[in-house]
Amino acid sequence: MAPKGKGKKPAGGGDDGVGAKLKSAQSLKLRHILCEKHSKHTEALEELKKGTAFNVVAEKYSEDKARNGGSLGWMQRTGMIGAFQDNAFDIPVSTCAQPNYKVIKSSHGYHIVMVEDRK
């Protein structure tokens, strides 16, 4: 079954499909895995590549929102800052089971970000 959402290609994981033309949006329903250290973020990426669900990897590795499977909920374009805002809106919609994600480096560390919905 194809994941729900607008403006996406079938989910395949990693940065595949990122950069495809997406419909304009003002808010995103996001999940992320935040790792302060490069080595921890690398371990989390390996788990995702093995096919482990995004929310499960978030609960194991994320240093923020871990109890919610990395859920940040709905975030407005104007409520994000810097590199996070610049990159989050380029990620296609996907599901925890088959996430399309992007690594975004910020002053907080390494964010592995996926988009669940757009509006």
Name the CATH topology of 27-118.
Chitinase A; domain 3 (3.10.50)
Cα–Cα distance, 60 to 94 (Å, whole number): 20
pTM for the whole structure: 0.78
Span 102-119, mean pLDDT? 93
Cα–Cα distance, 90 to 22 (Å, whole number): 7
Structural domain boundaries in the chain: 27-118
pLDDT digits (tens, 9 = 90+) for 40-98: 999 999 999 999 999 999 999 999 877 789 999 999 988 887 888 889 999 999 999 99
Straight-line distance from the first to the last Cα atom of the chain, in angstroms, rounded to the nearest whole number: 22
pLDDT digits (tens, 9 = 90+) for 18-42: 445 666 788 999 999 999 999 999 9
Instruction: HSE, CB side, 13 Å, CA atoms: give it for residue 86.
Output: 6
Give the residue, 116 or 106, on which the prediction is more confident. Answer: 116
Predicted confidence at residue 101, as pLDDT, reads 96
